[in-house]
Structure 1
Amino acid sequence: MDTRQADGEKQTLVSAIEKASARAFQPSGDDASRSEGQRELSALLSRTSTLALMSALSKLTGPDGAPPWLRVHLMDILTLLPQRPDGVRSTLEFVFSVHPSSTLRASDAPTLQKQGANITMEALKLATNLLSAPPATVSPEEWFPGIAPQLLALLDGKDGQDLVKAAAYVIGFGVLGRRQFGAPGSAGWKAFAAPMLSKINASLSTQEAAKKPVVFSAGPDEVVDLRKETVSVEADELHTALKRLSSLLDSHPNPGLTKRLLGPLMLPMWTISSWPPVNERFDERYRRPATTLLQIFLKIAGSPERFQALLKNLLVNGNADPSRTRWVYDRVGDSDLQVKQLRDGTNATHLTLDLGLLEAKSDAYVQLLQSVATESDISALFLTLFRGSFNPTKATHEIRITPENDQQGDPTVQLAEAKVLQKMMEKLSDRLVSNWRQMIELVCEILAESQISLEGPGDDATPVALSLLNLVVAAPGFQRSMVRADLLSSIEDSLGRISKAPEADVSQTARNLSLLLKYRDAIDDPSERTTAPTDRQVEDRKTYNLAISYITQADSPPPVRSEGLNLLSGLIRAGSPILDIQATLVLLSSLLNESEDYVNLTVVRLFTQLADRHPRSTVKELLDHYVDADERETVDTRLRFGEALLQVLQRLGETFAGEIAAQVGQALLFLAGRRPRRPKTEARQRRADRVREVKDRADTARDARQGPATGVLGNGDEDEDEDGRTAEQRARDDLVAQIVAGWESRRGAEDMRVRASALSILAAAAETNAPGLGAPLAAAAVDLCLGVLALERGPEAGILRRAAVVFILHLARALASRGPGPAVVGGRAASPFGFGLAGMGGEKEAEVRAALAYVADTDTDGLARQHAQDVLESLDNWRLARLTPRDVDEGGRGPGLARLAGLNLGAGSPAARLPPLQEQGGTRPRIEEVE
């Protein structure tokens, strides 16, 4: 369609909506005319597409679009458009297409409907605010159910991964990430989280749904068996819920939201993930997603109590609690899994507990411990199970899920615990001892109650306790002084008693341990002994190792990596001495090379936290990657380091001075200038040009063999090409292509985007702490900006000219922020910084004004012209403020207005010593105008 025709249709729609809405809401009209207008407006809105309505209503609700009384009603209509069946998708597409940060060309608009929009973080935040905030006329209970099905459907991925990420951001951060809407039981939780969670854990379904009667329909010859269970969740519904939940948590990870969503699903996910293998399709649809989600949850929120809860429900399938919805997972067909609701009176024992699966379930449980549990979690779980195995009366069974497990000494639970304990000792023997103090206490308790003596053989726990004691005593760095005296004495007495037992193996082991414990301190070289770490150092070391493993593991899911970054952030904020600052900086720099938004945003925040305690090292690391002297980084990566450097400088504030400021200022001036040469980049460009030339020649030869193209101008319009673009559009696209091509360095020069970024960072540094930047650097930066405005005149340098003008604006703003005018010392004005546009002399200030005036009048870039006009206005205001200087004595003191038109009003002036007018006879001074 011709663009002029499309614009005409849009204008026609705008006029029709304005005319119909004016009749519908005219304050001076009668009821009949308003009713007729409302019917006409309703019909017009019904037959118009949502995307077209958004475009037309956005124009009408603009500042000059419609009268104020009409704009209110049109705004209500516009805010309710997301409630349409395609309202959410249209809202996203409209925002992404009109947002200034979007670089989508008009010729690419048809692909928007099929492959998703050109999404930027700024546009995504705006769309999230529009969708997640209910209008004032609609309650959250009505708003979210209208948009939730549309957003959840986008998580399926049928409309492209871009829209999956967009929907996940709206749901995760816009709705569920807010306490007002995302808390359990709130409107947002019921609309977005409950539909997914209730499909996986049927116990979370509402009581009304649980008690809903089941209606059976049967033919005349069909018999319905009412004793059978009913299907409450179909196999496809369960698969969809798992897929949507995975997409939501992986696209924009939020550890807090992950805990809230996956907490109620721990046991159901364990049941699915440990289901006996069936086939590849079953694993892909159910087992793998459930396993991934379970591992994510336990890595983020794992604890010994949660692992113990899983162990106590090792064989449980579903929920057999009669006080709640009773349901089980049931395999249907060859590769599907569904949820079946149990009828009242049904014996669910054979469905929930299958001892034949004990071996496979215990193996899966130990594998889960290996993959997600920390050493402290494994050690705590092992100590609990081991204590319960030799003395069941002291075992703790307080964590229960179903009433059947509430009984002390449940034989099924004891059997599962014994099986898992055996496998842990076989496969996790090197990770069982994490907290040696707790291990020593347990060993002391076991040996004290050991039945082995001269009378005969005793229990089976004693050999194991001796093995554990050997692990602790033989560990490097162990010393007798590290053990409490009462525990050490009890262990020595127990070893002496057991060494006299008739069992040769046990008694010999006890004698050897007794000797080892007695002479342990003499084994190690005193010069090689190290000071025992404090408890905080031990915990910090564990946290650091856990964070590094979460961040660096290749298969680490996004929520787990995000949690690892949060753990590292906690160590940085606490100033933990366990951190190797240089290694941490290298790790963060490697992470900033990635293109994931959640990683980049968090890494930039960690850089700013490190800058609080280590500003020199942090700034140097960022500058090295930003300057990229070795030409290893891409332009996008360098720009990300520039963003991190910008936030670090703003975080430093007044401390941005001295050597750091000089180093940063010189590097930024070097990047922003025209001198930097990049030979490696030039070589890569030449190779790319040669490849492009070969490809163009091949395309030309192929076109020549195929003959002239026919039917290129399908509609016969000479002003349009094969894409339906007019001459005006082609000219605009060619200009954009020229500008983008000009950004990349030619002949090995620095990339235009990096130069503009360097000037922008320098402007922010000047506004943050101009005195810290120093007069020489400020003067050099102003000279550089004047050179840019005079020499960089091409359309591709528009962003560079904007940055140059903005630097002068920020410098003037920084000068003006120090006071209404310069101080007066010794009868003359002085700049509060010792430099500035005025401090450089009248010629320099005139040169700056002349350059800005020229840009404001002649520049081809609209933003550059507007920026120049704003700076000229700011300079004029600052010049007026200088006309009223502050009076400052030699000591730097003196408030208020000191001089006015040659009249000295200081405290020591004759005018200040004059008595009031009443004491002078009440006569007022007379002012005469003399030619």
Structure 2
Amino acid sequence: MEESIRVREAFHKASVFLSPVLDKGMEILARSSAHEVHLCSQAWRRRLKRLRGDDETTRTAVIGKALEILNGIHDAFVTPYQSPDNVKTEAIEGEDPSLEDAKRRRMLHALLDLISLEGIYPSLSSGVGIPLQQRVISVLPAGVIAKQTTVHTSIAPRNISLLRHILEVLLNILLDPRPSIQSVIRGRILSDVISGTADLAFNPTIKSYDEQRKLQEQFVNIINDTPSAVLLPILSAFLQTDTTAWFKSTVSSQIAQVPLRPGGVLQTIMFLASQFAPSLGQEAQSEPSNGPHFTVQAIMQISKLLSSVPQQVEPSVYLTTIAPQLLTLLDGDDPDLKKTVSYTIGNGILGKRTLGARGTIGHTIFVEPLFRTLTADLDQSSMRWMMQYSGFENIKSSRHEPESLLEVVVNHEEIDLAIERLGTLALQHPNPGLVKRIVTPILLPLWGLACYTKEQELKDLHEKVMALLQTFFSISVGVPPLKKLVDNLLWDGGSTWTYSSSSDGHISLVKRIEESNGHLNMVRLIDSLQVRTELFASLLAADPSCEESTGEVFLYVSQRWLVQPSPEDKPQQLGESESIFQRLISAKVAEKLLGSFKDTLSRHPLRILDLIKQVIDGELHSLGDKSPKQSQASGKPSLSSLANIVAPENVEDQDESGKDTSESLSTAFSLLSTVLASPEFSISEQVKSLLESIKEKLDRLIPLLPPALSKPATTSSMLLEIQLTSQEHDETKPPPPHIADLETHRQALSNLNSNLPPVQAEGFSLLTKLIINSSPVLDIPSTLTLLLSIINDISESTANEEFIYLNAIKLIGTLASRHPRTVVKTLVDSYTDKSEQRTLDQRLKIGESLLRTVQDLGEALTGETAKILGEAMVTVAGRRGNKPQAQRTRKEQEEKERRHKEREERKRQKEAAMSGGWKVTTGPTDSKDEATLADSDSESESPEQSIHAANIVAAWAAGAASDEEPDDLRVRASALSILASAITTNIRGLGPAVLSSAVDLALATLTLEPAAESAILRRASAVLILDILRALDKIGEEQKGANIGFGFSLTDDGNGGNGMQSSGPSTIGNIPSMLRTLGFVESREEDVIVRGHLRVLIESLEAWLEKALMWGIEGLDGEPRMELGDRIAGLDVNPLAGRGPSRPRIEEIE
């Protein structure tokens, strides 16, 4: 009871103190500040008479009294005589129920607002704290707080003693471990406390080191006690353009340390994602219910922040601290978070040499454990990063397969986790360089795992591994990795370990056991040869440079199969069975390539001819001067020797060897005849010399061949003779000059058609090179159509991958720099969408492409290109758009929603009319709607605000209310923005006609479309005129006011127009008339942003009037002459008068 009396007395003092401010009916509130209001209080009047102080003394006295009352309320809640039971209960239940009283909370807010706005804000140094307009709205009545007058810049706190006293009281309350009103203070003025404490603790102009050290400790305590979700918005609000350097450094340091907190990484990601949420289009309307939309800009900013090591922290300590949080999110189920974290690790951390190179802390944490897992080389450090943060802490206890009792080196959970992380890092975002870095060192383990899972029919794991391998070979890695797979086609593990599968379909790495019968193991591997050759062919087909790679690989395996090595070249370390086995693998691969890539090989005859020459050389070297009969005993292995692999080594079948020789040579002769008889075969100098060498050796070989081979050999020799002696080939045809560009173009198109972001990024890179080199193989309309199809692709995979369409937009800008008219006209036609074939999002994305194109063109935006763009943007931005199909679709959707609501309402009425316990259920719609309504009622947005926002978006889609079938307001606003960007880029290129139309359009929009939903149009219109003025001002400053052929008229024609009739086509607007129009619009404007733009525009136009007079007209001596032209009427001046021949004016008389 005693505690209740103390609290009541404390709040009574606050009520008496605040009553002159909070009581209604005081007229002085409209014109007085808080401390002036308190002068009306009798008690304060008597006290201030004794003080006889000035305004600053009054302010200090009022703030001191407010602090005394606030401290008294705190003491009332933490009185020492409370019983232990009460203290315990209060600590458990949290905030005292007395604080829930609305009147008392309002008093606390009023005290805190008074202390902040009249005490802290006026005392801070310049560039510290958040702007006053961004602060929480005060509960004090309007006019109570003194208006913030312009004060002189001060690098030190303006009132150190008052600021120190305020913070001393507030910090004592906030840092008191006993609960009282801390939550109210934090929720109301935490940002003010932080900025004030930082000003006293870190301001370099204050030299009291002991006091600063204490305040610095308190600053750190306040920061540490503030949750990350609350702290990040406050700290980010401090980073303004006019923030002083030392304060910005202090705040940035604290922001960089937020990820080091428990859960700080997730809080940082969610905060930055909310700051870069989309503002227009369907993405803004379909916000995910479980969090903000992750845009590309947000992901890049998140990566930049999380990969930036704070200055006071070592990189190893920083990454070791945030790595568990990153790995937890990487292994989670949220696709947006997985994509964001994979980009942060792949581009932000591994992309930096100091953090991600081999041997650094980033590589050790994120890459090395994956390598060691798949190569069965796990150590304690790698086990920590693989298992501790992924939910598999207890699996290390079992290291034996229960069925086979094999010693397990790596568990199946570890393998699954490693493959999952590799896929997330490599496939979630376009980074071909990262794919090469993380796949190349483990190419063979991935290959072995892919083959083993295929043989064991483990579909899920096989698809994940193959996705990695196909992505790797789809980014032009060259021929060496393919040769490496050919050399290790039957690779099934390392020297000490191999793969093993359990009955439940799990794969683990187990210790390899030496088998007693090696031939049985070899036979088992041969059984998998067919599967592995098919997988190899699929990987080879994924290579964009398949034309080149196939020929090289075919030549490589055919040499090992068909060419008889010389005795000195034979590997001594291999036994005869191993050598036969390797050649058997080569034969199988060559056979598969001939069957799958016959057309590809025929387009590269030089490689086949080289192979034929090597086969003939080998046979000629083997036979030597022996007779055909003796040559049959040469024991040459091939496919037909497969049955003899397990036979005794001393068994030699001369008939079989003869078949081997016949097989090699007959294959070579058949290939040679096919190439020579091809109608597309042409002889170059290189091919001619090779044919001559083949014919010379073939003629030497024919006498040594058996009859079965001599006939095809003779036929081949005759074909060679015909080709070499033909008169048609006397003048050899030069190779096509752009054959390499054709191959690059084909490769780029193949990459762009892939579904994997890294592969598509490689395609964009190749296409960019062709555009920059102005390659003649490019068909500009087709290329542009392809890029537009990528931008307009509405499939789920592409729509969610902003990296792809942003790359396409960037490439369109590059293409426009080479072919401006074609690109601009195509984009304009798609943007205007007269046939109504595109959605709103597609048009906005095309508008984004136009914006990028305009910026890339620069000074090249001129002539017909500029005219096409300018006129189209004026047309779209105006009210000339006619979209009947879009409006019909919108109305049909609205009618459908209306009928749905009516059905739901009738159903609810029917349920209400039924007796208790009965309910009509038609589906899960009700619960979903209720959940949606509950989600919408959040602290950040009330249901009324949500409904208002939904109405605004609907009004945007409906267009101008006065038009019958109008265009979407968002597209019109986009067109105004594109036109403003074009004006800023090259105002001369657009010319006076487009500029005059732009000014008329902007003024008409400001005047005739005052509705709330049209605010975006009015904002863009004000910015458009301001950009025109700034562009003209920039040219005027550069050329010292020289005539550029057009400009604004300074003469008031008095007819309310823009002066076009009196000043000719060189005048784009009449400033006096514009000022009258803008003044009228500003007086009725309700949108705060539009009103601010209009005020800046009016001031700029007034300044332009003065500057135009000061420029004058250049004299002969280079000095300005203050000529007024040929029209003088008081101060009405027309500098453009007399600069061109006068034109007759025709007027129609009724």
2:524 maps to which residue?
A: 356
Q: Secondary structure of 2:1110's partner?
A: coil
TM-score (norm 2): 0.66
Q: Structure 1 residue aligned with 2:542, among 359, 366, 372?
A: 372
1:637 maps to which residue?
A: 842
Q: Structure 2 residue aligned with 1:557, among 742, 756, 759?
A: 756
- Residues 1:863 and 1:602: Cα distance change in structure 2 (over 3 Å): same
Which stretches in structure 2 are left out of the alignment for 5+ residues? 1-94, 110-135, 137-180, 385-393, 633-660, 794-798, 917-932, 1051-1062, 1125-1150
What does 1:790-829 correspond to in 2, within 5 Å? 790-820=1007-1037
1:732 maps to which residue?
A: 945
2:312 partner amino acid: T
Does 1:270 find its partner at 2:447?
Answer: yes
2:1074 maps to which residue?
A: 848
2:415 maps to which residue?
A: 238
1:922 maps to which residue?
A: none
Partners of 2:558 and 2:586 within 8 A in 1: no
2:669 partner amino acid: L
2:232 partner amino acid: M
1:125 maps to which residue?
A: 300
- Residues 1:867 and 1:406: Cα distance change in structure 2 (over 3 Å): farther
Q: Structure 2 residue aligned with 1:677, among 882, 891, 895?
A: 882
- Residues 1:870 and 1:506: Cα distance change in structure 2 (over 3 Å): farther
Q: Structure 2 residue aligned with 1:589, among 764, 788, 807?
A: 788
Q: Structure 1 residue aligned with 2:852, among 632, 647, 650?
A: 647
Q: How far apart in 1 are the matches of 2:241 and 2:749?
A: 52
2:1029 partner amino acid: A
- Residues 1:686 and 1:295: Cα distance change in structure 2 (over 3 Å): same
Q: Secondary structure of 2:508's partner?
A: strand
> Larger Cα Rg: Structure 1 or Structure 2?
2
What does 1:521-560 correspond to in 2, within 5 Å? 533-534=735-736, 537-553=738-754, 556-560=755-759
Does 1:775 find its partner at 2:992?
Answer: yes
Instruction: Please state how far the C-alpha of 1:471 moved relative to its aligned partner.
Output: 3.0
TM-score (norm 1): 0.80
Instruction: Please state how far the C-alpha of 1:857 moved relative to its aligned partner.
Output: 4.6
Q: Structure 1 residue aligned with 2:778, among 564, 571, 579?
A: 579
2:320 maps to which residue?
A: 145
Q: How far apart in 2 are the matches of 1:406 and 1:297?
A: 34
2:1046 maps to which residue?
A: 834
Q: How far apart in 2 are the matches of 1:45 and 1:607?
A: 47
Note the alpha carbon deviations across 1:454-481, whole angstroms, 9 max, x for none: 7456634222221221232233322345
Instruction: Please state how far the C-alpha of 1:19 moved relative to its aligned partner.
Output: 6.5
1:748 partner amino acid: E
Does 1:338 find its partner at 2:539?
Answer: no
Instruction: Please state how far the C-alpha of 1:578 moved relative to its aligned partner.
Output: 1.8
2:364 maps to which residue?
A: 190
Instruction: Please state how far the C-alpha of 1:17 moved relative to its aligned partner.
Output: 8.9
1:814 partner amino acid: A
Instruction: Please state how far the C-alpha of 1:572 moved relative to its aligned partner.
Output: 1.8
Note the alpha carbon deviations across 1:318-341, whole angstroms, 9 max, x for none: 433xxxxx5544434532223347
1:384 maps to which residue?
A: 556
1:682 partner amino acid: Q
Partners of 1:250 and 1:559 within 8 A in 2: yes
Q: Secondary structure of 2:528's partner?
A: helix
- Residues 1:198 and 1:899: Cα distance change in structure 2 (over 3 Å): farther
Q: How far apart in 1 are the matches of 2:400 and 2:505?
A: 28
Q: How far apart in 2 are the matches of 1:844 and 1:207?
A: 75
Note the alpha carbon deviations across 1:219-268, whole angstroms, 9 max, x for none: xxx9999x998645332122122112212322222112221122212111
What does 1:436-835 correspond to in 2, within 5 Å? 436-451=605-620, 455-456=628-629, 459=661, 460-480=663-683, 484-496=687-699, 503-519=706-722, 533-534=735-736, 537-553=738-754, 556-594=755-793, 595=799, 596-707=801-912, 724=937, 729-746=942-959, 747-820=964-1037, 831-835=1043-1047
1:917 maps to which residue?
A: none
Which stretches in structure 1 are left out of the alignment for 5+ residues? 211-216, 321-325, 711-719, 825-829, 903-931
Does 1:869 find its partner at 2:869?
Answer: no
Figure out how many residues of one structure are paired with residues of the other and give that number: 850
User: Which shows bigger deviation, 376-385 or 467-476?
Assistant: 467-476
1:420 maps to which residue?
A: 589
Does 1:880 find its partner at 2:1081?
Answer: no
Partners of 1:262 and 1:297 within 8 A in 2: yes
Instruction: Please state how far the C-alpha of 1:87 moved relative to its aligned partner.
Output: 1.0
Q: How far apart in 2 are the matches of 1:759 and 1:396?
A: 78
Q: How far apart in 2 are the matches of 1:844 and 1:884?
A: 18
Q: How far apart in 2 are the matches of 1:898 and 1:485?
A: 78
1:334 partner amino acid: D
What does 1:39-118 correspond to in 2, within 5 Å? 42=221, 49-55=227-233, 57-58=235-236, 76-99=253-276, 101=278, 115-118=290-293
1:713 maps to which residue?
A: none
Q: Secondary structure of 2:619's partner?
A: coil
Q: Secondary structure of 1:675's partner?
A: coil
2:173 maps to which residue?
A: none
Partners of 1:315 and 1:355 within 8 A in 2: no
User: Which shows bigger deviation, 327-336 or 678-687?
Assistant: 327-336
Partners of 2:859 and 2:985 within 8 A in 1: yes
Q: How far apart in 1 are the matches of 2:786 and 2:1107?
A: 49
1:915 maps to which residue?
A: none
Instruction: Please state how far the C-alpha of 1:691 moved relative to its aligned partner.
Output: 1.5
Q: How far apart in 2 are the matches of 1:784 and 1:675?
A: 11
Partners of 1:820 and 1:882 within 8 A in 2: no
Q: How far apart in 2 are the matches of 1:613 and 1:461?
A: 53
Q: How far apart in 2 are the matches of 1:579 and 1:438?
A: 28
1:730 partner amino acid: P
Partners of 1:319 and 1:328 within 8 A in 2: yes
Instruction: Please state how far the C-alpha of 1:32 moved relative to its aligned partner.
Output: 11
Q: How far apart in 1 are the matches of 2:375 and 2:822?
A: 50
Partners of 1:551 and 1:564 within 8 A in 2: yes
2:426 maps to which residue?
A: 249
Partners of 1:317 and 1:351 within 8 A in 2: no
Q: Secondary structure of 1:653's partner?
A: helix
Note the alpha carbon deviations across 1:535-572, whole angstroms, 9 max, x for none: x522222222222122225xx32222222222222222
Q: Secondary structure of 2:229's partner?
A: helix
Note the alpha carbon deviations across 1:413-472, whole angstroms, 9 max, x for none: 444334323433444444334532232233234334534797456634222221221232
* Higher RCO (CA < 8 A, seq sep 6+): 1
1:919 maps to which residue?
A: none
Partners of 1:650 and 1:765 within 8 A in 2: yes
Partners of 1:117 and 1:162 within 8 A in 2: no
Note the alpha carbon deviations across 1:588-627, whole angstroms, 9 max, x for none: 1111113231211111122122222222221122112111
Partners of 1:397 and 1:408 within 8 A in 2: no
Partners of 1:14 and 1:57 within 8 A in 2: no
Q: Secondary structure of 1:339's partner?
A: strand
- Residues 1:172 and 1:794: Cα distance change in structure 2 (over 3 Å): farther
Instruction: Please state how far the C-alpha of 1:738 moved relative to its aligned partner.
Output: 1.9
Q: How far apart in 1 are the matches of 2:813 and 2:614?
A: 50
- Residues 1:699 and 1:482: Cα distance change in structure 2 (over 3 Å): farther
Q: How far apart in 2 are the matches of 1:90 and 1:860?
A: 36
Partners of 1:96 and 1:123 within 8 A in 2: yes
RMSD, matched Cα: 4.7
Q: Secondary structure of 1:469's partner?
A: helix
Instruction: Please state how far the C-alpha of 1:785 moved relative to its aligned partner.
Output: 0.5
Q: Secondary structure of 1:338's partner?
A: strand
Q: Secondary structure of 2:1070's partner?
A: helix
1:313 maps to which residue?
A: 488
Q: Structure 2 residue aligned with 1:288, among 441, 463, 467?
A: 463
